[in-house]
Structure 1
Amino acid sequence: MREYKSKNVIKWLAILLVLFIVVFVAGISIGSGSLTVDRIIPTLLGYGSFKEDFILFTVRLPRILILALAGMALAVSGTILQSVTRNDLAEPGIIGINAGAGVGITIFYLFAKADIMNFAYVMPLVGFAGALATASCIYLFSYEKGKGIHPVRLVLVGVGFAFALSGVMMILISSAERSEVDFIAQWLAGNVWGTDWPFIFAFLPWIIILFPIVFFKANVLNLLALNEPTAIGLGIHLKQERLKLLCIAVALAAAAVSVTGGIAFIGLMTPHIAKRLVGPRHQFFLPIATLTGATLLMFADTIGRSVLETATIPAGIVVALIGAPYFLYLLKSVI
């Protein structure tokens, strides 16, 4: 049985890796500037024209890398939240964590009064501070002594905080200058803006440090996904492990949305898709969810850039068009 599952995981990893590469190449080659597929490798090796070098290294490659990293981070964040809270509807965008990061980033942006490129390495930290404050409030309002976190209450409290923080964003927008409003509006729509190399270098340490911890904690996540008495009986320090993993989930989500804007539903859909493909064990479905998240976000951005000739649809809106019906389906099945 274990051998069959391992083969199944390898099969889906291979399929998703091929799909990831196809979408990655499509994201680089599709756009207003011409860069055909057969010119990507020569340009990467330094044999491209000035125009091809500019399109690849300045415009397309940093953008697609940010999308891939953000999709991975949001997928892992959603997986942690669903497992730790034992709630199939938990997701950083839906329960208000992304909104908390957005308010923190917006306040910082309005008070910094400078080119945001100068603060590429600070933005994830600012987003994390805002997201952590929001997550702490959601946790406190959702927790019931002796019973833990009630799944439906968590979603309702999170949605309430998301609406409240949206109101705060509207207040900030109304008091901002026109040029500042454009940036905030792009962030709210999930229009990927941190598409330069400094943002990639600022984002990478969060992935490099936190991903190994999550994969190392796969067995802990398996136990936390069970009921609390079972997890405690198997020797898990419930509050300690839950707090650590929640902080990691918040950090990954905040780092992602600090460069991509308010993108929701990636963390909701990818764990469910992965579980359907390879089962509920985190050792098996975490890699699948990670690849799925990256592929889905890159695909959404590519579609948004290519579906209309005269305008670009933000990746956050494309993902929402896919994810909102899925959320309603899950909501119906849970309630």
Structure 2
Amino acid sequence: MMTAKRKQRILFVILLTLTLITIIIGIGLGPASLSYDRLIPTILGNGTFKEEFVLFSIRLPRIIITLLAGMALALSGLILQSLTRNDLADPGIIGINAGSGIAISIFFLYFPIQADTFIYALPIVAFLGALVTACLIYFFAYDKETGLQPARLTLTGVGFSFAIAGLMIVLISSADRAKVDFIAKWIAGNIWGDDWLFVLAILPWLAILIPYIIYKANRLNILALSESVAVGLGIALEKERRTLLLAAVALSASAVSVTGGIAFIGLMAPHIAKALVGPRHQLCIPITIMLGGLLLLVADTIGRNIVDPNGIPAGIMVSLIGAPYFMYLLFKE
């Protein structure tokens, strides 16, 4: 019988292979053509100026950003599901992404923006907005007698998400047309960060937080069981919850700051990973990360090529798949 660890390794290799295949397909698709037989020569520096420009300045940055953002959203969703013991938890569904969105909107509309610092400031601004929203959701969902209630947290988050969406409409109703267009694309989940600078803006967050969450995998296993078990094992319950919630917020904020408001990746990827390798976090964290990157990459590859000239935003493509999946989980729960 195949061990869980061996099964995880095989699945990881399969997902890595599928990701590489999707990257290769994505590189060759689009208005500016780059034939597949010219891919290797171009990577090795033997392509024409046009081929190198299309590959290194247009396609690869967007692909890498999409991949990293999908990984961050998936891992954020896994943390939230473990903390709340609720398979329906997702940074997009429970309002954390909306918190990032309102902060980015205010920053974009009302603060003087310097082009050289704008890209690096966005993840920080998104993080602060998401953090304030997460704290408010936590406050309203927490009960002194029974602790953090998963159902209440989900409903509170959905309520905050709708309230913030209404506030964003008020904010942009009198704004400049160009800025309104940007915010509208952000809300739709359009992958707008398509330059190497955006890769540098999001990469440090993942480089720090992914190893940290892997290190905390056993804590997540315990927190996913019950409060009484966690306390009995000597876990500082509220401290662990807060630090892990902070990590989930940071992962989500870093992703949506360059991809826009994308939901359901954090819902689907962890749930599929647990179905494949089980709920033990040492096994499902790597699979969740790979699934998240692959799902968003496939959604963006299909979306940007399915309709001319601008395609369909990745957030909408993910929602077309994620909304029915959410309903399935809702009825199952």
State the TM-score bracket (shorter-chain normalisation).
over 0.9
In structure 2, give the amino acid aligned to 1:239. Answer: E
State the partner residue of 2:106. 107
Post-superposition CA distance 1:265-318 (Å, at most 9, x none): 000000110011111100001100100000000100010011123441000000
In structure 2, give the amino acid aligned to 1:73. Answer: A
State the partner residue of 1:277. 276
Query: Secondary structure of the equivalent of 2:263?
Result: coil
In structure 1, give the amino acid aligned to 2:283. Answer: F
**Equivalents in 1 of 2:123, 2:223: separation in Å?**
28
In structure 1, give the amino acid aligned to 2:15. Answer: L
> Do 1:58 and 1:196's aligned partners in 2 also have CA atoms closer than 8 Å?
yes
State the partner residue of 2:204. 205
Structure 1 stretches lacking a partner, 5+ long: none
State the partner residue of 1:120. 119
Query: Secondary structure of the equivalent of 1:317?
Result: helix
Shift of 1:147: 1.1
State the partner residue of 2:91. 92
Identity %: 59
Shift of 1:117: 5.7
Q: Structure 1-normalised TM-score?
A: 0.97
State the partner residue of 2:19. 20
Alignment of structure 1 residues 118-157 onto 2, 5 Å: 118-157=117-156
1:321 pairs with 2:288: no
In structure 2, give the amino acid aligned to 1:302. Answer: T
Query: Secondary structure of the equivalent of 1:95?
Result: coil
Q: Classify 1:198/1:84 alpha carbon distance in 2 versus 1 (closer, same or farther; 3 Å).
A: same
**Equivalents in 2 of 1:115, 1:94: separation in Å?**
32
State the partner residue of 1:33. 32
Shift of 1:118: 3.9
State the partner residue of 1:299. 298
State the partner residue of 1:77. 76
State the partner residue of 2:259. 260
Query: Secondary structure of the equivalent of 2:17?
Result: helix
State the partner residue of 1:186. 185
Shift of 1:113: 4.3
**Equivalents in 2 of 1:115, 1:188: separation in Å?**
22
State the partner residue of 1:45. 44
State the partner residue of 1:235. 234
Post-superposition CA distance 1:124-173 (Å, at most 9, x none): 00000000000000001001112112111111100000000001110111
In structure 1, give the amino acid aligned to 2:234. Answer: G
State the partner residue of 2:161. 162
State the partner residue of 1:245. 244
**Equivalents in 1 of 2:112, 2:232: separation in Å?**
53
| Farther off after superposition, 282-291 or 28-37 | 28-37
> Do 1:109 and 1:116's aligned partners in 2 also have CA atoms closer than 8 Å?
no
Structure 2 stretches lacking a partner, 5+ long: none
State the partner residue of 1:221. 220
> Do 1:73 and 1:252's aligned partners in 2 also have CA atoms closer than 8 Å?
yes
Post-superposition CA distance 1:216-240 (Å, at most 9, x none): 0000000000010001111211111
State the partner residue of 2:329. 330
State the partner residue of 1:64. 63
Post-superposition CA distance 1:146-202 (Å, at most 9, x none): 211211111110000000000111011102110111100000000111111111101
In structure 2, give the amino acid aligned to 1:304. Answer: G
Q: Structure 2-normalised TM-score?
A: 0.98
| Farther off after superposition, 62-71 or 149-158 | 149-158
**Equivalents in 2 of 1:65, 1:266: separation in Å?**
16
Shift of 1:105: 0.6
Shift of 1:112: 2.8
Number of matched pairs: 333
Query: Secondary structure of the equivalent of 2:3?
Result: helix
> Do 1:94 and 1:162's aligned partners in 2 also have CA atoms closer than 8 Å?
yes
**Equivalents in 1 of 2:89, 2:115: separation in Å?**
31
Where has structure 1 moved over 3 Å in runs of 4 or more? 113-118
In structure 2, give the amino acid aligned to 1:247. Answer: L
Query: Secondary structure of the equivalent of 1:122?
Result: helix
